[in-house]
Amino acid sequence: MKRMVALGFEGSANKIGVGFVTLDETAGITPDEIDCLCYTKGPGMGAPLQVSAVVVRVLSQLWKKPIVAVNHCVAHIEIGRIVTGADDPVVLYGSGGNTQVIAYSEGRYRIFGETIDIAVGNCLDRFARVLQLFDDPAPGYNIEQVF
């Protein structure tokens, strides 16, 4: 089976994340070895998402690579599914802007419930700022270290 290599870009409120996605070694990868370019299409804040989309479009034209738009929530779930070996997870997804109960049903991920006020991740981000904790590596992690 051919090794597949994706170069992914994720835009968030305060940074842009760039990383290789493969189940193999990534050291020494050249643009010729990249199969596709991925970017976070949503959900999220408009401006950071646009930054990632523009970067990917430019690289796609320069390197002649196809583009894959990725749902932010589903990407996190899929990574967790691979790491844990879970087949059909039911997930409480909490990020800066989204809190949702998501499960795989009838061939796709479906949202079975979500908050309509403040997201759990946003709440943790605000709480970390009140405690004057840093964003690096993540507000939730830093809160755990304090308590």
pLDDT digit string, tens, across residues 92-124: 887 766 788 999 888 888 989 887 777 777 788
CB atoms within 10 A of CB 38: 20
Q: Are 17 and 48 in contact (CB under 8 A)?
A: no
Model pTM score: 0.67
| pLDDT interval class at 60 (50, 70, 90) | very high
In angstroms, the CA 96 to CA 125 distance is 7
Token match 């590596």: residue? 137
Average pLDDT, the chain: 83
User: What pLDDT is attached to residue 136?
Assistant: 81
